[in-house]
Amino acid sequence: MVDWPVVAAIVLTIVTASTPLLLAALGEVVAERSGVLNLGVEGMMAIGAVSGFAATHATGSTFAGVIASAIGGMILAVPFAVLVINLSVNQVATGLSLTLFGLGASAMIGDKYVGVPGIKLPQLHIPGLSDIPFIGPVLFGQDGLVYFSVVLTIAIGWFLTRSRGGLVLRAVGDNHDSAHNLGLSVLGVRWAAVLFGGACAGLGGGYLSLGYTPLWTENMTAGRGWIAVALVVFASWRPARVLVGAYLFGAVTILGFHAQGMGLAIPSQFISALPYLATVVVLVIISGNKAMLRANTPACLGKPFVPTR
C-alpha cells in the first residue's frame, strides 16, 4: 500500500532541491542565448545565498532577503560583464575567476552568520485546497519562489519565441555582426542578458539559504552552479526543457538520500556524487548528437564582439 504522506514529503523535498537549479539555469539560458558564456554561476549563487541570508537576518523579512539575493548576484555579474563584453576578455577564464571570487567573498562575508538560525520562506496555505491529501501540499503548499520559478520558465519561453525582444536577443547570439549592421545594440543586449542571469543565479543561491535549508554555511552551493550550466546544454537552450532537467536532477539528489534512509547499503560518498555523475552521463549522451547541438547552440556563444564602427 502506498504511504501517500511519505510520497508527498519526498515530492516536496524534490521541489525544494530543484528550484535553485531551475532559477540559476534559466538565467544562464538568457545569457547564453545572447552569446555570452558565464561560468561564474556558482560564485553568483554563493553571493546570492549570503546576501539573502544577511538581509533576512538584519530585517526579519524574507522578502528583503529575496531581493537582496537577486541584487547580490547582479552586482557580481557587473565586473564579469565589463571584462567580457566591453574589454573582450576570454569568457571561460573570466567566468572561472568569478566563481573563485564569489566563493571566497561569500565565505568571508558569511563568517559571522555561521551557526545563526535563519528564517524560512513562508509557504502558501489556501484553506481547503492546501489540506487535500497529497495534492494539497504539493500544488498549494509551496513557497513563493517555487511558483515564481515556474512562472519565470513560461515567461522566458514566451519572451524568446514570441516577442521582438527575444528575437533581438537570439539574433545577437546567433550573428552579432549582422545584428550590429542592422543597428541593434549588441553590447547593450548582452549587458542586459548577463545582469538578468546574475539576478537569477543570485535568486537560486538565496533559495538555498532561505528555502532549502534556512541557514548559512560556507560553500553551501556545493557545485549546483556547475549543474545549472550543464542543464542549459542538457535542455538545448530551451526553458521548458530546463524545467524538466532541473526536476530530474533534483529527483536524483533526493531519491538517493531516501534510498539510503530506507536501509539500502549505499555509500554516502556515492550519494553525494550521484547528481554530478548523472550530469556527466547526460552531457556525454547529448554531445554524441552533433546535429542537435549545432542546430540549437547560439552560433556566437563565447565569441567576443568588437564593434567596427
Domains of the chain (ranges, CATH numbers) = 4-296 (1.10.3470)
120 close to 219: Cβ distance less than 8 angstroms: no
pTM score, two decimals?
Answer: 0.92
Does the pLDDT value for residue 285 go beyond 80?
no
* Residue tagged 561560468 (cell numbers): 39
Distance separating alpha carbons of residues 206 and 52, to the nearest angstrom? 5
Give Cα 236 distance to the centre of its chain.
15
**Confidence (pLDDT) at 253:** 77
Confidence of residue 120 (pLDDT cuts 50, 70, 90): very high
* Residue tagged 502506498 (cell numbers): 2
Assigned C-alpha cell, 130: 492546501
Provide mean pLDDT across the span 272-295: 69
**Confidence (pLDDT) at 25:** 96
φ/ψ region of 263 (left if φ > 0, alpha if ψ in -120 to 50, else beta) reads: left
**Confidence (pLDDT) at 288:** 67
81 close to 189: Cβ distance less than 8 angstroms: no
Confidence of residue 97 (pLDDT cuts 50, 70, 90): very high
Residue with more model confidence, 172 or 141: 172
Residues paired with 1 in a beta bridge: none
What would the pLDDT profile of 146-196 be if each residue is shown by its tens digit? 999 999 999 999 999 999 999 999 999 999 999 999 899 999 999 999 999
- Lowest average pLDDT, out of 19-23, 56-60, 175-179, 273-277, goes to 273-277
111 close to 236: Cβ distance less than 8 angstroms: no
Assigned C-alpha cell, 159: 519572451
Assigned C-alpha cell, 281: 552521463
Residue 29: closest CA among 210, 153, 144: 153
- Decide: helix, strand or coil at residue 218: coil
238 close to 297: Cβ distance less than 8 angstroms: no
122 close to 143: Cβ distance less than 8 angstroms: yes
Secondary structure letter of residue 34 according to DSSP: T
Confidence of residue 133 (pLDDT cuts 50, 70, 90): confident
Confidence of residue 233 (pLDDT cuts 50, 70, 90): confident
Residue with more model confidence, 244 or 273: 244
**Confidence (pLDDT) at 22:** 96
Distance separating alpha carbons of residues 29 and 237, to the nearest angstrom? 6
